[in-house]
Each structure stands twice: as structure tokens, then as C-alpha cells.
Structure 1
Amino acid sequence: MTFLEAISFRPLPVTLLAVATYISLLTGLLWVHLVPPKVAPQFELNRWGVNLTDAWQDLRQITGEFRPYNAHSNDDVRDFLLKRITDIVKENQINGYDGEIEIVDDNSSNVLFEGGNANGLTVYFEGTNIMVLVRGTDATLSPVLVNAHYDSVSTGYGATDDGMAVVTVLQLVKAFTNPSRAGEHRIQRGILALLNNGEEDFLNGARAFAVHPMGKLAHSFLNLEGAGAGGRATLFRSTDAEVTKWYKASKRPFGTVVSGDGFKSGLVKSQTDYKVFTENLGMRGLDVAFWEPRSRYHTVDDDVKHTTHRSLWHMLGSSLEILEAATRDTGREFDHEEGPPAGVGHDGVWFDLFGRAFGLLRLHTLFALTITLIIVPVIMMATTVYFLHTSGKFYYLSNTPLVPQPPDESHLPRTTRGWRGLFRFPVAFVVASAAVVGMAYLVDKINPMIAYSSQFSVWAMFLSLWWCLAWFVLRGADADTVRPTALGRGYAFIEQWALWWVVLIFVAVSIDQSHIASGYFVLVSYTGVFLAAWLSLLELFGLPRKTSQRVSYESIHSEGHSQIAPSGPVSDDEDSEPEANERTHLFRGERRPTTFGGFARRDTDAHSSHSLAESEPHIHGVFGREQAWSAWLPTWIWIPQFLFSVPVPLIFTTSIGLLLSTATNQTGADGSSTLTIYLIMAIMSILILLPGSPFYHRISYQITLFLFVVCIATTTYNLAAFPFTDSSRLKVYFQQSVNLDTGVNSAYLVAHPGYVESVVSSLPSAQGTPLNITADPGRVGLKRVSWPGIPPKVAGDAPMKSWLEANATKLSATSARINIRGLNTRACKLNFKEPVNSIVVNRKGVENLGEPVGPQGTKEIRLWSREWEQGWEVEIAWAADSSVDGVKATCLWADANNARQEIPALWEVERFAPSWGVVSKLADGLVEGWREVRI
């Protein structure tokens, strides 16, 4: 066998290359997706001046208890962080660091702002932030802000939200004030490290920073966040391409602009401090965050044992490299005097490749490339078709008669049969894609939450289903006894190119109209498929002219070969097949199937009763019963076509598919549409496999048989399996409300409609009691189940009815003063039936704050104090045509560190709920005590 024969377009080489490509690339992509990079060697840690062991110990220290703003443990963590920062700075200064460092313990920043609630919300907050300013050598350059929040939710230890970011900031201060490092690498642009408190409740800490004088110093930022428990820290979003170039310095970049577009388009509802820095302060910067698994987010599973040193190093190492690049950037583009403090950048497009390389370009560059790819390939294809047509070599869509016609008794084809395969790919695409989309609806109907714990089983089902059906149509239509054609691959590429061309139009519109860059991967797939399609046309130049090709019929001999002279075409007559009779061989042309699904010539026996007129001859250089003129086609052209259309598009599309599925597969617990999850996975499965489909008809049936088994097994599992596991637990949201006048309390659990009742039914206090089951008003798509819970004991030794004191004094027909105070709390709120349009908050020893509320007024005021049990005095006013005759005064309890004694209803849920369920907070307060106050 010659080398060209070994690499020809036949089942064995195609199968080997396809299997090797898909397995190697998918394995690599999954590894990068699931496994954080190794911790750097000790010499690199020493070079940076950081200590990962100390960072891990700090993480364990601050995550020992829940630390929401409204818990005493929050103060303990704050004291610990202040001491750690002071010790780090003092040690580095003693060892010789001579740069200027300023530590700010902020106990004076208070803010009153609109909370953005649709019903009208105003928030009053008193900040307790910690700031460290490390000045650079160039005082004219603004420092770079690096931010993390040290509070957690009331039901989570916050190892990744946001503990690892906090200890990262500590190590950044240590690194950039390290005397041994500063000698050679003293920063030119300073660093402003911010540890803010109160992020979990309306981004309060960042808003307090915005009114502090230091909030005006920095014009660029790096925000560090967490929305999962482990894994890699991804580049969530970025304001522009210019600031994103700092991220290119990361040795292990991870992220894609698709996540940023999710925020931009409103698909991602949650927010980080990034929102305050960009919208309130006009800054430019990066949002880097842990992002999965979401089932551990805001739960007790967000703890140290569910994360790793690798994850910590990925955030810390990336932050060091980003800030190194930022502090060395002496450009003035972030220090504009006109317009926003940081100027205006250009929308960027960015993505990582295998967590090793990072691509970055401007959005307008992507748009220019998109328009170019829409126009230029069409011109190239049209020009190529023109030259093929004028040279008589455009075999596509041809049915040119042979000259001369073969003898009637030969039963040979009488035309070129160049139109065969025209509808093969469209049929395969429609059948396979419709089945996959239909399966998405079926899974959503029967077992909608299975992706919560088994997203890779769902991936395997969609991918194997599309492959099997597409293979069946393409291979079945191309079978040696049906409609074999040498142009099947070319038709598939040309038609697929036309399909991607239409998609590219939509990408161009989304870039131009909405500034959405997520379609960048389409350009990659489109380009690969176009090059493969173009090669399908170029290879036709190697064929003889359709009107001059001749077959020397006399040369057909008993060995089953035909000698084709470059002087005439072969035909495409559908009726040229000989009629079968009792002497017809099972395999026409006396060929037998090979191991990999092809056909080999069977030598003619001397005593065979067959004549050449009764069986088509096997033509040397032609696969099976394909057109005889295909012997002139290059046997190797499929290899560059494969390399253009499969590997690179597979990398880009699969990376985005994994990000989308992992970001959404557990959002059903929050009330999001589960159908959307499956449609995303189904569509991405189609796009992953689509570029390689022109090769399916040459891939061994054994591969498809294996994938068929996979499809059956995963489909059965996905439709029947229980959707939650101990490692992927369903989040159930808890809150307890107490009427302090009557003592009546209700405990609530809010969760997915199919499972919340079974969780409540497992609780001893809910046995034999009436359950109130309604749709939750705050979380669309979820169900609320309430029952008389075990009464809380959050007022210390005092009875619960004395927990909250509130009174109101009417000042005029349209104004009043309300005083509210709670025992052992620093968070309360006021709710009005009618909106108020003016608010002034008075606090003893604190400057009064008041400003207009939203244009529609406000129905709720949240009140946060840095001190305990101090209370607030709130003056309100309302429109003359309105009537505010009462207020619902509520105080909040958010400390679950001693839940068994203080919130026994919560402890009961944690103790008796099924192992596949885990508690998260429903609102700011785990317990709300309230009473009505007349004005």
C-alpha cells in the first residue's frame, strides 16, 4: 500500500483521525474546565513574596463561622483582618520597605441610596470598610483598586464568597510591600486594597467606599468575587479591551466574553461590586470570580473542605500577574480629566485557549472581520465556480451525458451523476437537530432537574443522539447499494458554509446593534467550513472536462479494473442499474465489505457464471460504486479539510458550551427556566458536531454502534434518575417571620415546586400541621411552603415581644417621624402601603442623611448600623394626595452560628431535611420580627 492509499478518504484513516481528534481535544478541554492548575513551585512563590500556607490558615480563620454584616462574628473577622494587615505592613517595613503605606479603618462613611427594587426601595448604610493604600513611585498616576468583601451570607461560611478573595488581597499587600521584591520591582502606579463589608446586601460596602475620599483616588480596578466553591477563577467581565490587556499577563487565563455578555444582556441577574465601581464611580476594570458549582453558593458547603490550594493559587497567582501589569502601565488613558474619571475604552472580545493562552481584540475589529467574512468568501466561491464552469469541470449539479455512451449491455452509468448527494446533508441536519431539540423538551417535561447533578450525562445524550442520527442518514444514503457519490463531502461543506453564512449575518447584527461579542466562535467555525468547502471546489480542477472525458470500455477485463483515459465523462443515470436475478451477487460488482465499512474488489473466479455485462466493474482509485471520474480526485484533500473544519472550531465551541452549561445547569433551583438549560446544551451539541459531519459517512459503524449504546444508556438515566446527590444538593431557601404583637410565627421554605413539599414533610414540627403552599412572590418559578415553625429566641433573655421598639409621630399632614430600635441587631426596615417621596435618616453622633428617592417614591427603607442596638430616627414625607397612616416596622436576625438555641426552626431544617437538600437564605434576615405602627 502506498502512502497516498494509506491516507486516502477511506473508513480506516478517517475513523482513526476523527476518534483521535475528538477524544484528545475533548479530554483536554474537560481537564482545563474541571481541574485548577497546580500551585506554583516554592521558588516562584518566594519570588512574589507570598506565603500560600499563611493564606490558607487565614482562610480557615475567617471561615470558621458565618459572618454576615448583622452578626457579631462579622466584627471578629474585621478585627482579625485589621491585625493581619497591620502585622504584614509592620513586618515589611521593619525588613526594609521604604514606600509609603496608609491603612484606613473606615468608621465614618454613611450612605443613603436607591436600592433598585421595582416597588421602590431606599437603603441607609453605615460602612466599616478597611483600606490599604500602597503608593507607587509616580504620584501622578492613579492607583489600581483591588477589592474583596469580607462578609458572608447568613447560611454560608463564604470560603469562595468571598474568603479566598480576602486572603488574596492580604497576600497582594504582602507581595507589593515586600522589601526584597521592591528593590528591583518597586511599583510605579500604586495599589489601593479594599476589604469592604456588606456586599451581600445591596452591595452596601462598595457604596460606602464610593462616598469616602479614597473612593476618588483609583480610576481602574480588579474586583475579586466568588459564586461557587472551588474550581478556577474566571474573568467574569471587563469594561473594555484596554484594561483587559492586563489580564493577558496571567499565565493561566480562564474565561470568555460570553460571561460578560450575560451580564450586559441581562441574562445574569446577580451583581457584584463591579456594578458600583463602574456605574457610581465611572471606573474601568476587571471582575474575576469563582463561578461553580452553584449548588454550594450561599450554603454551608461553601467552606474550606470543598475548595483546594489549587483554586486559591489560581486566584492569587492571576491577581499578582494582573496587578504587576497594571502597576507597570504608565499610560495616561485611565487618568483623564474630562468625562468619567477613567475615560472611555473600547468594547473588547476575549477568550482563553486551554487555560494557557489568551486572545484579545476590540469589538470593532471583530465586526470588521465579520463583514469581511460575509463578503470575501462569497466572491471567492463565485469566482471559483465561474472558472470551473467555463473550464467544463463544475461537476456539482451536473447530469451531463457521457460521450460516447457506454454499450447498452454494459449496464454502466450513462451520465456524470454529479447531482447525487445534494439533499443528503440538509436531511441529516434537520433529522438529527430536530431529534436533539425534541429530546430537550422531553427531558424538561419528565425530569427537568437532572442537569443539576448530571450535566455531563445530558451532554453525552445530546452528542451521541445527534451523531447517531446524522451518521445513519449520511452513511445510509451513501451506502454502496443505495446512492454512493464522490461529491457527498463537498455538498455537505458547501451547504454547511451557506448555513454558517446566515448565522454570521446575525452575529454581525448583534455586534452592531447590541455590542454583543459572544458570536466570535461562529467566525472560527465559519472560516474552517468555508476553507473546506472551497477546497471541495478547487479539487475539481483536477478532473477532466465533462465533455471530453472518455472511458475505454474495451479495457475492462476480468480482473475488475477499468483503464480510464483522460478523454470523456461518466454518467448519472438512475436507471442504469442491472436488474437483479437469481445469479446476481449479494454485493454488486463482486465486492465484499471490509472491516471498516468500505468495499474491496473480489477477484473473479475462472468458473464464475457472471459476465462483465451483468456486474459493474470495480474501477481502480474509486471508492465503492462512486462515479468513475472520481479516480482523478486527490485522495488526500480530505485531511486539510478535516484540519480546517474540526479541531479549532471544536476547541472554541466546546469551551463556550461547557461554560454555558456549567453556569446554568443549577439555576433551576433559583427559579430559572430548566428548558432554557436543555435548549442551550442541545444547540451547543449541534454546533460542536456540525463541522465534522461531512466525514461521518466514512467513519466506521463500530464507533456509531458504541455511541448508540451511550445514547440509550444516558437517555434512560436522564429520564429516570433522581436529580440530586450529596455533592449536588438542592438549595431550599429559609426564612421565619414573627408577629411580635401576637407571637404568631410562620417558617417558610422556598424551592423547586417538585421537591419543596417533600423537604417540609420530613420536618417534625410540620407533621400534622396545616401547610400553606403558594407561588413565591419574590422568586418566580419557585413554590413557597409555610407552616407554624418552632418559635425563635433571638432577644436574649428578654421575651420576643420586646425585641423591637417602634413609635411614630405625625409632624404634619404629609410628614412624620418614626423611631425604631431592635435588641441585639443592627438591621431593621420600614415598609409603607403607599410610597413616600422624602426620607431623612437621623442617627446620634452621625451626620443626617437625606435625599430624594426614586421618581415613583419608595415603599421600603432598609436601615443598617455599624453599632448594635442604637436604633434610627427616620423622617418621611409623602404627597398631598396620598395617605400614609401606618408603617410595618421590622427588625432582622441574621446570625445562624447558634441556630439550635436561637433559630430552632432553621436548625430543624438543617438536621432533618433529606441529605440531597441544603439550606440557603431567602432574604437579608433569617428571622424577621415585625409589628404595625400607627402614624
Structure 2
Amino acid sequence: MVPGSKLPCKSDTPNIFIRFIRTVFGYRKTTLTLFVVLSLVFTFLFSWYDNNLDYSVALPTDPKEKLVLDEAWFDLQKIAKYEHTYGSTSNDYVHDYLQSQILSAIKGKAYIEYDNDLNGTNSILFSTRSSPEYSSVSYYESNNLIVRINGSDSTLPALLLSAHYDAVPSSFGVTDDGMGIASLLGVLYHYSENTTAQPKRTIIFNFNNNEEFGLYGATSFLSHPWFEQIKYFLNLEGTGAGGKAILFRATDYGIVKFFKDVRYPYGTSIFQEGFNNHLIHSETDYKVYKEKGSIRGLDLAFYKPRDIYHTGGDNIKNINIKALWHMLANSLDFTDIVSSQQIDLDDEYLKHETANYSHDVAAYSSFLNYFFAFPVSQVFIVNVATLLIVPIIEIPFLLIIFSYKKVWKVSFLNVIKFPLSVVLSLVALHEVVRKTVEYNEFLPNSGAGLLVVTYSAIFLLSNYIVLNLFNALNGYKVINHDEKLIVLFEISILYKIILIWSTIKLADNKIGDDHSGEFPFLFLYLLQAVASIFGFIGWSLKSSKKPTIVEVSEESQPLLSDQGVSYGSEEGEPRFSGSSSLSFDEEDLFAGHEKLKKFFSYDWSIQFLIVVPLSSLLIYNSGFLIIDGIHKSIQESLASEFLIYKFILVFSVAWSLPFLPFVFKLNRIIVLGLLTIVASGVFLAAITEPFDQLNPLKVRFIQTVDLNLSGSDSFVNVYGRVGTPLSDVLSDVPSLKESNDSVNCTALTDGNQVCSYKSSLPPHFVEGISDFNDYLQIDVLKNSSSGTDHPFGFLVGEFKIKAPKNRMCVLNFKNAITSNSEGSNYKDVPVKTVIVYDDKTKSNLSNVLPQELNIEAIPEGYSRDEKGNYIFKDLNGINELQLNKLSWTKDYHVAVQWVPNLVEDATSNKLAVSINCFWADLAPLATEDGVIAAIPAYDELLHYSPNYVSWANRDRGLVSISKSIEI
């Protein structure tokens, strides 16, 4: 310092290294701006890489694996050539193709066996009770294709690999579930083509059918004798239509831990929590194997996008061979890991010993092809320990700061202004969300990312304005104040509250109240707590002198202002003001103790680096993973819409939180950037179409005929959300214009609607049939309810259903005594027993069981008589019977038994039966006049609807013909 001068001499000027450190790490607006930008780049780059199929997954280089992938890809092309639902001839084509590939692959392999359910040994009748008042019984004729690779150690329990080869009527079924089937074939090729590939553990493959409308193939497999060997499973599925195959859920930690060594692990228990808590309404065969089969395993599935899931868009053109390789490679690796060795879980079956934590629900995640899994009991222990240890560390420092040295004077306003700012910002943001719903309700379908970015910018900008308004009202006067540390600590308290709630729930974690996906809150809390403790250490080391009043605090001055003292990186001696969490005292810039001391403050950079980059990445990556999985389902219901907007709001706020402690120091560039994002986001939200070719409007089709009505006209019924341009789309089809009929739209529950019009285009499934009555005929063979006597025994009815070229019918047993009765006189469900006759059985009901089906002689549940007929008895009542058969020519032959009406003023004991049969075959029909479309009304809509519309099936068929009878 030059004597008598305030200018520094040359020797006092910091060297270039010190100036560099101050430039990069000094608490300056420019430096903070750089850190924010780098953090966002870090977040976007790593999240993009982790979730990107093309860059995070490499095609195989090993010649044998390349051959397996090529064979599997060719199989996928063949499987997905046609729509192939259970009720279609194309389903038979896929079955026969798979059988030929399997037989060719296992030829000459003595240790590999094959079984086909077409031998008639695995048909089944089973019940699904959805509530105490409602039970559905299903008859299913199975044609699963089952392969068993016998392991060298027969004492080890077997591993099941399962996928379904049927699709829905409106889809080619590439990802749902052609790639699962192709992956199973790939694994089979690996073990059959390699002469040294016999595994130690037995591997069983279930290529099952009719998963889509009842999980039938998996359910029937439970009755197969090979199932008794199985204790572990891997189910391959598709609940979306592309991207990477994600580990959706696992039965327990014991089995999921073996997924960590696959080459491309990708999964999160966030989705598992959604499934277990019934927030995701799709189901897979995993449910059957876990709940009915009581075996342990994984559900690996494609999960996005939902708008072409179950539509014609799920085809080869829209898929990448890398997606198949991602599923196939992980299936190969998992199978090899489990089948090549004895694992710890085998002890439970071989030695009756229970491995520690093996049955715990798993909390798991992946990042950059690394997989992490923990039993929830351990997560609970770590959470409790963290919640106890962190305060033990924090409290002594707080006592030193506030009671001993008294160096930090925190006023009530300092404490309350950030919570108030968050609340006010949430109110403002909620209003913006409400306006979005009001003016562009379905925007999340195409613009979920736009909304997240816009809402996050609004929340940050709102907090900036509110917090600086508080500081302006306080005159910017602070006393040894540390704005960022207060906010860091208060955010850590918020995470602590969430973590306490989650930990309490984990103590009794269960299906329906699962919290296995919430473990990231532990890491978010720790990051905030560590940064706060670091700040407390700095304050506790600070000299306990009289506090200095600072007129303009660097941390609290307006972001758009150039006034105030700057943190230096300029040439010459920089100037500092205020105090910091960790300060380095140097000589006074001015003489005299009354002058302000300067502190070179660098602790903020450590706090920033601890909190912001990792928190931002964790929240962003998890949030967009969920967004990708659910945002298209806004078209499914009002409840889904509410859930999606709620999640976008929470996601936007959560992603903003890590940046809020440093909002005081953001410079004008970032503020102007936020203003630009908000303005452009609001503008784009107003003009962006929610439906376009890349983000189509998904609607569901079924053509119905009610033979109970005069005229027997057919009606096209299209289901979608209220508020979509559904009516306009339908009004533009040529057949409707020609007939001059109108489209009638009726509101349904949960924000949905059905738009219907009378169709002049009848379906063509059988040559020569033009009358709808010929597609559904019911012959009553026995009717014991005739007359008005009130018998005290059970009543029996027997009938046949003739439905040519049909495989699927549903019978509903109404509680009403007759079809014209206004209400039910029964106190419970009248039908107690159903019989489905074996196709080889020609006898009538009196030859099945004595005394006209004596109910006392029939056991509860499923049974078969000596003639092979299928019987199901449920004294609580049966509401529905679902029939699924493989024969195209065989009639449905059914009998039911119900309790008589005992109400004195009843005039009849007849039972009303509603019969609804479904057709789904889209294969064109060859006639004398040429080839015609099987369902012209559906074909017309596919051809003439705009490119922003995608079509899916409403039910198990695309055509439904119904008729009611009384027996």
C-alpha cells in the first residue's frame, strides 16, 4: 500500500493464479451464471445420454451374438407381419411360425424338450373376483408353446422366461410383445446353437397366448406340470412402443440384485411404486406369476410412448433394432447369471434357510449402465440413521454460532421470507397451470417438456421477485447475514419432513401403499444438509466481533442493479463486502477498526457444487423418466389428466429448488433469460397443437350390433376424451356423408365420451353371411325355470352358442328375474355354478351329474367331471362367464345353475343372460366378387382420418354382436 494513498502498490497486487481463483470461484454474479449454465449443461447432457438408446446401447460385436440378434430381428419381422390378436387367423400363423422355429432350434438337443398346449391338456376354467359383489369366471383353451432346457443340476429350482405372442386387434404388436417373443427366441438360439451351452439350472420358456384380455396364457401355465419346478421368472413385456426396455418392477430384493450385472441395466423403482399403488392401470403376466404362482422375478418392459401403444403405429417402421438388442442382451445376461450357478436364494428351497433381506421389496435405480439396488429394510435403517445423525452434527455448530460467539443475527423476516416466497410463487404457478388447462387442456400430450421448462422458469422468477421485494422493503440492510445458507437450511428441513414421512411409510411397506421409489429423497436431503453444515462450520470459525452493518449486501441486492460492492476478479485489488460462511480475513482495506473488513469468500462455490449439479440431475432425470412414461395417458381419463398436471407442477418446483439458495446472485443475463423463457413458453403453450402426427390423438373403435333391437343396424362407436376434435373427425368420413346420418356424442364418466353413428358398412368374416342374425344364434337345450312354481332346488339351464369364425364371447348373468323386470328381486348374485362342455362331449346335462347338477356334489372352485367337462362353483355368485376357444367351428356349449326366486310376488324364475361375442380378424375375405375388407367401417376410418389420429381397439374385438335370452 502506498503511504497516504488508498491505492495498492504493485507488490500488493495478487498474482495471476490468485486472480484466476478469485475469478472462477469468487461469489460474483458472472461466476454464478457460469456455474448455473454448466450445471444445466451437465444435467441435460448426462440425462440425455443415460436415456438415449442410440448412444447408451451398442450393437453386438461378437459373431455369435450378432447371429442371434439377426435371427431374432428376422423373427420379429415375421411375427409382426399382420395384426395377430387371439381371435384372428393371423394368431394361428404366428403360433405355427413360432412352433417351426422352436422345433428347428432344438432339433438334436437331447436336453431340450418341447410341449404344445394344443394337445388339449391345459385348458382351464378359473375365477377372478374383482370385489365381494362381482366375480368373473373365464374358460380358456390354451395353445402356449413351452420349451424346457434341462439343467445339469436337476436339484436347482428352474428359471422361467415368459412373453406373450398375441397382440390387440388394432396393433401389429412389435413392442407389445413381439420383441419379448423375439428375445425369448434369441435366448433359446443362444443355448441351442452353442454346443457347450447347457446351463446348470433348468430354463423354461413360456411363449404364451391371449395376455391382452385376461392374462390367460400365464394363468393357464400355472396348471402345467412343468410349472412346479419354477421358483424364479423374467417376464418380457411392452406397455409402450419403443425406447429402452426398463425394469418396471421386481418381486423382491433377493432376485433384483442379480440384474446389476447385465450389460445395459435400465430401471427405477419409481415405476414399481406406481404399479404397486395402482397409479398405472396396465397389467402384465408378472401379476399372475407373482400373485397366483408365488414365484420371484422381474418385469422388463418397453414403456413409451403411450399414444401409439396398442395402435397400428406399433410396427416395424417405428422401432429400432437396438431396442430389440437392449431387451435381448439384458435377457441373455440375466438368464446366464441365474442359470449358470447356484444362487443364495436356492438355500430357501434346498436347505430351507432364509437369506437376509431376500424377501424385502427392492428400491433400485440405474444410471449410465450402472445398477443400484437396496432392500427397503436397509433403506429404512439408513433413513433413520441419517435423520438422527444430521441434527447431532448440526446442533453443536448452531449453539456455537448463536449462543457462544453470537456472530450471526437472524431476524424473523430473514427466516420467514423464503417460505413465504415459495408459497406465493406456488399460488402464482397454480394459477398458470389452471389457465393452461382452461385454454389448452391436452397440451402435455405434445408439450410436456415445454410446460416443465416454462413452469420452472416462472417459479424461479417469481421467487426472485418476491425475495428481492422483501429485501427492498427492509432497505437491503443485513447484519452479518448469509441468505444462501438460510435457504439451504430451510430446503433441507423440507426434505427432512418428506424423508420422515417416507421413512414412516417404509416401516410398513406393502402393495397399495408402496414407497420403494422414494429413496432419492435421502440423497437430496443429504446434499442439502452437507452444504448447510459446511456453512455452519464457517460461521462457527468466524471471529466473534461486533457485527458490521452492510447497507448493500451482495447476496440480497437486486439482480438487475449494478450498484453495490463487487466481488473482485478485476485487475488491481478487488473489493468485498458483507460476510460469508467461511471467510479469510486479510488486512483492512482501510485503516481503523470501524471500517468494513474484506473477506475473500469461496465457500459458496463448494456449497453450489455440493447441491446444485447432483440435485438437478437426480430430479431432472427421474422427473423426465416419469414424464415420458405417463404424459400421453392424458387422453385416457380426467383422473390421468389431473395426475399428469400435478406431477408436472411438482416436478417443476422440485427441479427449481436446488437453484433457489443462489437466486440472490443471479445476474441480469439469467434473469432476462428466465423472462424470455416465460414469455416464449406462455406464447407457445397458447399456440401449440396438443395433437399432431408425432403426438397423435388416440381413439378407440368398436362396431356394435344389438340383435335385441328391431332392424339390427350396426353402429360405429369411437371412444375418446371430451374436448378433443373427435366429432369433427368422424363427420368427415365418406360413408357418413353419403347416408346423411349424424354423429351423436355422449359424455361418459371420468372425462370420456363415446361418439356413435349408424354404419352402412357391415363386416365380412364369413363368405355368404350378410344377415347379422346368422353371426349369433343361441339354442336353448334345457330350461328348468319354465312355469310359475317356486321350486326349492337349484335351477339349471343349458344352451349352445353358434358364432361362426369366432373365438371370444362373454356371458353376463343379470340379477333381474326377467329381462323386462325393472329391478332385481334377488338379494345376491343368483348364478352359483357354470359348466363348459368339452368339445368331445356330446351328452346333454342329465348325463353330466345326477339330480340335475346337485350342487352338494360339486366342490367349490374349479373341477372337471369324468367326461372332461369344465365346472366352476362359487356360492357367492358368478356375474360373468368369459369364453375363449381355439376352434373356428366348434359351438360354445354351456350350462348354468342358479338359485330360484323366493320372493312371494315374483311371477317367474327365469334368468336373463346377455351374450356378447367379439370378432377381431382383419384378414381380408376372398369372395366370388374379389377380396373385400373384413371390417370396412374400421378400414374407412384408418384411410380417411387425419394424420394426427391413431386408432386402437375398444375391447377384445373390433366388432361386437350381442343378444339376450331368458332361461
Fold shared, TM-score > 0.5 on shorter chain: yes
Q: Which residue of 2 aligns with 1:401?
A: none
Q: Which residue of 2 aligns with 1:428?
A: 421
* Residue from 216, 227, 230 that aligns with 2:228: 216
The farther-off stretch of 822-831 and 310-319 is: 822-831
Letter of the 2:310 counterpart: H
- Residue 17 (1) aligns with residue 38 (2): no
- Residue 829 (1) aligns with residue 829 (2): no
**1:104-154, Cα deviation, whole Å (9 max, x unpaired):** 111221111224456432211000000111111111011110111001100
CA distance in 2, matches of 1:269, 1:529: 35
CA distance in 2, matches of 1:509, 1:628: 53
Alignment TM-score, normalising by the size of structure 2: 0.83
Paired residues of 1:478 and 1:697 also in contact (CA < 8 A): no
- Residue 569 (1) aligns with residue 569 (2): no
Paired residues of 2:776 and 2:803 also in contact (CA < 8 A): yes
Paired residues of 1:762 and 1:914 also in contact (CA < 8 A): no
Paired residues of 1:733 and 1:750 also in contact (CA < 8 A): yes
Paired residues of 1:29 and 1:655 also in contact (CA < 8 A): yes
Change (3 A) 1:588 1:718: closer
Change (3 A) 1:649 1:631: farther
* Residue from 717, 725, 730 that aligns with 1:748: 717
**1:294-347, Cα deviation, whole Å (9 max, x unpaired):** 011000000011010111111011111111111134136357459999999433
Measured after TM superposition, the shift of residue 601 of structure 1 is: 6.2
1:183-222 mapped onto 2 (5 Å cutoff): 186-222=198-234
**1:386-436, Cα deviation, whole Å (9 max, x unpaired):** 2334431441427xxxxxxxxxxxxxxxxxxxx774344223322333333
The farther-off stretch of 287-296 and 733-742 is: 733-742
- Residue 867 (1) aligns with residue 879 (2): no
Q: Which residue of 2 aligns with 1:913?
A: 945
1:444-455 mapped onto 2 (5 Å cutoff): 444-455=437-448
1:320-359 mapped onto 2 (5 Å cutoff): 320-331=332-343, 333-334=345-346, 336=348, 345-359=358-372
Q: Which residue of 1 aligns with 2:258?
A: 246
Paired residues of 1:219 and 1:342 also in contact (CA < 8 A): no
Paired residues of 2:175 and 2:238 also in contact (CA < 8 A): yes
Letter of the 1:111 counterpart: I
Q: Which residue of 1 aligns with 2:302?
A: 290
- Residue 851 (1) aligns with residue 872 (2): yes
Q: Which residue of 1 aligns with 2:536?
A: 537
Letter of the 1:675 counterpart: F
Q: Which residue of 1 aligns with 2:768?
A: 797
SS in 2 for 1:843: coil
CA distance in 2, matches of 1:458, 1:215: 48
Letter of the 1:906 counterpart: Y
CA distance in 2, matches of 1:787, 1:852: 41
Change (3 A) 1:207 1:335: farther
Q: Which residue of 2 aligns with 1:555?
A: none
Aligned-pair identity in percent equals 25
CA distance in 2, matches of 1:52, 1:799: 47
Letter of the 1:866 counterpart: L
Letter of the 1:833 counterpart: K
Q: Which residue of 1 aligns with 2:916?
A: 890
CA distance in 2, matches of 1:647, 1:181: 48
Measured after TM superposition, the shift of residue 527 of structure 1 is: 0.6
Paired residues of 1:143 and 1:189 also in contact (CA < 8 A): yes
Letter of the 1:746 counterpart: F
**1:433-465, Cα deviation, whole Å (9 max, x unpaired):** 333333222212221211111221112111221
* Residue from 619, 637, 641 that aligns with 2:607: 641
- Residue 8 (1) aligns with residue 21 (2): no
* Residue from 701, 705, 722 that aligns with 2:689: 722
SS in 1 for 2:896: strand
Letter of the 2:178 counterpart: G
SS in 2 for 1:144: strand
Paired residues of 1:393 and 1:541 also in contact (CA < 8 A): no
Measured after TM superposition, the shift of residue 876 of structure 1 is: 0.5
The farther-off stretch of 761-770 and 831-840 is: 761-770
* Residue from 107, 115, 123 that aligns with 1:110: 123
Q: Which residue of 2 aligns with 1:563?
A: none
CA distance in 1, matches of 2:171, 2:875: 33
1:291-310 mapped onto 2 (5 Å cutoff): 291-310=303-322
Measured after TM superposition, the shift of residue 673 of structure 1 is: 3.2
Paired residues of 1:424 and 1:488 also in contact (CA < 8 A): no
Measured after TM superposition, the shift of residue 213 of structure 1 is: 1.0
Letter of the 1:269 counterpart: H
CA distance in 2, matches of 1:342, 1:299: 45
CA distance in 2, matches of 1:622, 1:235: 61
Letter of the 1:526 counterpart: Y
CA distance in 2, matches of 1:875, 1:39: 55
Provide structure 1 residue ranges, at least 5 long, that are not aligned to the other structure. Answer: 399-418, 550-567, 575-585, 603-618
Measured after TM superposition, the shift of residue 746 of structure 1 is: 1.5
Change (3 A) 1:592 1:312: closer
Measured after TM superposition, the shift of residue 477 of structure 1 is: 5.3
Alignment TM-score, normalising by the size of structure 1: 0.85
Paired residues of 2:800 and 2:894 also in contact (CA < 8 A): yes
* Residue from 476, 480, 503 that aligns with 1:482: 476
Letter of the 1:678 counterpart: Y
Q: Which residue of 2 aligns with 1:497?
A: 492
Paired residues of 2:729 and 2:946 also in contact (CA < 8 A): yes
1:337-736 mapped onto 2 (5 Å cutoff): 345-397=358-410, 421-474=414-467, 482-483=476-477, 486-513=481-508, 514-545=513-544, 549=545, 568-571=546-549, 631=597, 635-671=601-637, 672-736=639-703
Matched residues, number: 849
SS in 1 for 2:233: strand
Q: Which residue of 2 aligns with 1:230?
A: 242
SS in 1 for 2:940: helix
SS in 2 for 1:296: coil
Paired residues of 1:36 and 1:314 also in contact (CA < 8 A): no
1:43-54 mapped onto 2 (5 Å cutoff): 43-44=61-62, 46=64, 48=65, 50-54=67-71
Letter of the 2:102 counterpart: I
CA distance in 2, matches of 1:372, 1:225: 38
CA distance in 2, matches of 1:662, 1:264: 19
Provide structure 2 residue ranges, at least 5 long, that are not aligned to the other structure. Answer: 1-13, 553-560, 577-584, 786-794, 816-828, 842-867, 903-908, 926-931
Measured after TM superposition, the shift of residue 179 of structure 1 is: 2.4
**1:461-501, Cα deviation, whole Å (9 max, x unpaired):** 11221222223344565689734674111111111122222
CA distance in 1, matches of 2:309, 2:800: 36
Paired residues of 2:168 and 2:953 also in contact (CA < 8 A): yes
Measured after TM superposition, the shift of residue 193 of structure 1 is: 1.0
Q: Which residue of 2 aligns with 1:609?
A: none
1:51-62 mapped onto 2 (5 Å cutoff): 51-62=68-79
Paired residues of 2:59 and 2:322 also in contact (CA < 8 A): no
Paired residues of 1:542 and 1:634 also in contact (CA < 8 A): no
Paired residues of 2:244 and 2:326 also in contact (CA < 8 A): yes
CA distance in 2, matches of 1:441, 1:370: 36
Measured after TM superposition, the shift of residue 732 of structure 1 is: 0.8
CA distance in 2, matches of 1:786, 1:336: 57
Measured after TM superposition, the shift of residue 630 of structure 1 is: 8.8
CA distance in 2, matches of 1:720, 1:141: 62
**1:721-749, Cα deviation, whole Å (9 max, x unpaired):** 22011011111111111134642221100
Paired residues of 2:58 and 2:322 also in contact (CA < 8 A): no
Paired residues of 1:367 and 1:508 also in contact (CA < 8 A): yes
Paired residues of 1:569 and 1:629 also in contact (CA < 8 A): no
1:258-277 mapped onto 2 (5 Å cutoff): 258-277=270-289
Change (3 A) 1:725 1:323: same
The farther-off stretch of 471-480 and 16-25 is: 471-480
* Residue from 127, 145, 149 that aligns with 1:134: 149
CA distance in 1, matches of 2:339, 2:595: 66
* Residue from 929, 932, 935 that aligns with 1:903: 935
Letter of the 2:401 counterpart: L
